[in-house]
């Protein structure tokens, strides 16, 4: 319980009238705090998308220091139960989207298939010269023209990922003139007759660094999931190279595999 043993201090500091403390009897303060809020969510008192009481309000509700309150909130955040909007408040997380890297439908279709509302926003589209790293991936000379597309994607109006896509400009000339606010894959197929035969996907828990965090409007350093995908056509040529940064609470990966 309390830092100083849990008994003496509780007596000397009267602790204001906090009647609803039945679930706070055992263990550490910040975990009790966690349970208190988790309970209110599980009971349906707080529903997905709804805002939690402010930290200072919770402080008086449960009678703890604000630092302890926040410790508990961070727990729930790590569990994906709540999330925060910077300086606006804490909110109850909606359920995650299920993602199957082996299925080659785009983001838009699988989000829709799950009864959610997807949206895509193109942040920028530029032509860049191929650098050393991309040269290796695409097996093209350094300096060759490439398209770089940055997009932000939403589920039910919540930004869940930012991505940077690179496509060989020689393979898909004039790509940037098409609308990129829907599936890129379908554009590549319908306008350039390019289809994907092989997919290399890497996923790793990460921290969202400044750039990604800003784009997702979350605090820098929050946990996220990095997904890097390289797509190849039937000839083994690299079609696109995509790096996605997901909110850690927005995604569930599900793969169904026939063992080779």
Partner DNA sequence: TCGCCGTTTTGGTCTATACCAATTTTGACG
Partner DNA sequence: CGTCAAAATTGGTATAGACCAAAACGGCGA
How far apart are the C-alpha atoms of 218 and 28, rounded to whole Å?
28
Indicate whether 203 belongs to the interface with its own copies (CB under 8 A).
yes
- Choose which of 41, 52, 175, 194 interacts with DNA (CB under 7 A): 52
Query: CA angle at residue 247 from 76 to 95, to 5 degrees?
Result: 65
Three-state DSSP class for residue 36: helix
How far apart are the C-alpha atoms of 33 and 13, rounded to whole Å?
19
CB of 169 to its own copies, least distance (A): 23
Three-state DSSP class for residue 232: strand
Nearest one of 231, 179, 225 to 203, comparing CA atoms: 225
Longest C-alpha distance within the chain, in Å? 76
Tokens of 185: 């894959």
CB of 42 to DNA, least distance (A): 20
**Per-residue binding letters, 61-80, with DNA (x by CB under 7 A):** ---xxxxx-xx---------
CA 125 to chain centre: 22
**Per-residue binding letters, 7-46, with DNA (x by CB under 7 A):** -xx---x--------------xxxx---------------
Choose the one of its own copies, DNA, none that binds residue 199, judging by a C-beta under 5 to 8 angstroms depending on kind.
its own copies
Q: Are 130 and 141 in contact (CB under 8 A)?
A: yes
- Choose which of 103, 191, 198, 219 interacts with DNA (CB under 7 A): 219
- Choose which of 40, 53, 55, 80 interacts with its own copies (CB under 8 A): 80
Binding residues among 86-145 for its own copies as defined by CB under 8 A: 96, 101-102, 104
Binding residues among 136-195 for its own copies as defined by CB under 8 A: none
> Which residues of the chain form contacts with DNA (CB under 7 A)?
1-6, 8-9, 13, 28-31, 52, 54-57, 64-68, 70-71, 84-90, 217, 219-220
């Amino acid at each position: 319980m309390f830092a100083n043993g849990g008994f003496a201090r509780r007596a000397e500091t009267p602790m204001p009238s906090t009647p609803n403390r039945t679930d706070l009897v055992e263990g550490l303060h910040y975990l009790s705090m966690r349970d208190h809020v988790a309970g209110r969510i599980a009971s349906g008192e707080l529903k997905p998308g709804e805002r939690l009481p402010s930290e200072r309000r919770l402080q008086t509700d449960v009678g703890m220091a604000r630092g302890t309150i926040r410790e508990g909130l961070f727990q729930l955040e790590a569990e994906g139960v709540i999330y925060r909007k910077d300086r606006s408040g804490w909110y109850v997380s909606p359920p995650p989207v299920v993602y199957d890297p082996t299925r080659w439908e785009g983001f838009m279709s699988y989000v829709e298939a799950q009864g959610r509302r997807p949206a895509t926003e193109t942040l920028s589209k530029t032509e860049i010269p191929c650098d050393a790293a991309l040269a290796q991936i695409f097996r093209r000379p350094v300096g060759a023209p490439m398209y770089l597309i940055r997009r932000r994607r939403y589920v039910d109006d919540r930004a869940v990922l930012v991505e940077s896509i690179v496509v060989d400009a020689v393979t898909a000339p004039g790509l940037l003139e098409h609308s990129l606010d829907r599936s890129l894959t379908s554009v590549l197929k319908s306008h350039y007759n390019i289809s994907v035969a092989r997919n290399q996907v890497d996923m790793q828990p990460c921290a969202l660094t400044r750039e990604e965090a800003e784009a997702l409007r979350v605090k820098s350093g929050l946990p996220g999931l990095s997904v890097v995908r390289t797509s190849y056509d039937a000839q083994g040529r690299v079609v696109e190279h995509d790096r996605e940064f997901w909110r850690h609470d927005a995604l569930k990966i599900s793969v169904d595999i026939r063992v080779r």
